Amino acid sequence: MNPARLIEYWPQLWEGLLVTLQISAATLILATPVALLIAILREARVPVVNALLIVAVNAVRLLPAVIVLFFVFYGGPQLGLSLSPMAAAIIGLSVMGAAYMSEDIRAGLSAVDRGQYQAARALGLSPARIFCRIIIPQAIPLIVPPYMTRAIIMVKGSSLASMVAVGELTAAASRASSITYDPFTFILFAGALYLIISGALVLFQAWAERHLRRRYRLTPGGR
């Protein structure tokens, strides 16, 4: 462990950290609404759409993330769209994240008591209203824990962007390691930074769960 080296390579590491934060934020912001849309469409069970989504979600879920990233980065130009490494990484990781998250969200939506749909429909409420006002608010407390776990996995997964030449935190730390032959210092430091980011998400999750319990008067596991 050599703190002097950290100071020497700080500009690159700082740059890498910023890129990691950017990728993480971008993938979460892109993946979440897409995942929600997929989950809602799956729940609505429109015959053909549902079948297509099952195939698409599983295709992505069953592939290694690196393969998906390579596919976007190297395959993109073949399909006529030339993407910067950063854009390719964000698209690939968002696609992965959306596929996984859609399953987390779907599980939460389908865990809401069927009687809630029946009561809401019997009152004449429209499907959109039922979803926004009745189902989603009840599903959110169920979705938050798996969603946040997924968000943490996605933040850590941003390190895969180094595979398509994005200079994010892992790439910066690994480059500094190979120049200085001091992997211990840099990898440990990078690990600590990941721990801080993930830790912040864990704290946010705890706060969100507490807030939701109060907001909806929920007792754990209760109605």
Partner 1 sequence: MTHVPHHVEERLMVQAINLKKTYGTYVALEDVSLSVRKGEVLAIVGGSGSGKSTLLRCLNFLDPPDSGEVIVDGRQMGAALGERALRRRRADIGMVFQQFNLFPHFTVLQNLIEAPMAVRGLSRKEATARARDLLAQVGLADKEARFPSELSGGQQQRVAIARALAMEPQVMLFDEPTSALDPELVEEVLNVMRNLAAQGMTMLVVTHEMQFARDVADRIVVFDQGRIVEQGPTAEVLRNPQHPRSQAFLKRLLRTS
Give the pair of three-digit tokens for residue 88.
């390719």
In whole angstroms, the minimum distance from the beta carbon of 115 to partner 1 comes to 4
Per-residue buried b or exposed e for 126-156, using 16+ beta carbons within 10 Å of the residue's own CB: eeeebbeebbbebbbbbbbebbbebbbebbe
Q: How far is the CB of 118 from partner 1 (least distance, A)?
A: 6
What does the binding site for partner 1 look like in residue numbers (CB under 8 A)?
A: 113, 115-116, 118-126, 129, 133-134, 137-138, 215-219, 222-223
Q: How far is the CB of 204 from partner 1 (least distance, A)?
A: 21
Report the alpha-carbon distance of residue 87 to residue 104 in Å, rounded: 25
Q: Are 131 and 116 in contact (CB under 8 A)?
A: no
State the minimum distance, in angstroms, from the CB of residue 210 to partner 1: 16
Read off the amino acid at residue 198.
Answer: S
Tell me the C-alpha distance between 212 and 220, whole Å.
Answer: 11
Residue with Cβ nearer partner 1 (52 or 119)? 119
CB burial of residue 4 (10 Å; 0-12, 13-18, 19+): exposed
Q: Which of 102, 103, 106 is nearest to 136 (CA)?
A: 106
Contacts of 79 (CB under 8 A, 6+ apart): none
Q: What is the smallest separation between the CB atom of 48 and partner 1, expressed in angstroms?
A: 20
Nearer to partner 1, 34 or 125 (CB): 125
Supply the minimum distance, in Å, between the C-beta of residue 77 and partner 1: 46
Nearer to partner 1, 61 or 210 (CB): 210
Within a 10 A sphere around the Cβ of 99, how many other Cβ atoms?
Answer: 23
C-beta of 202 vs 218, nearer to partner 1: 218
Query: Based on CB atoms, which residue is closest to partner 1, 78 or 219?
Result: 219
* Backbone angles phi and psi of 166, in degrees to 5: -95, 130
Question: Nearer Cβ to partner 1, position 61 or 121?
Answer: 121
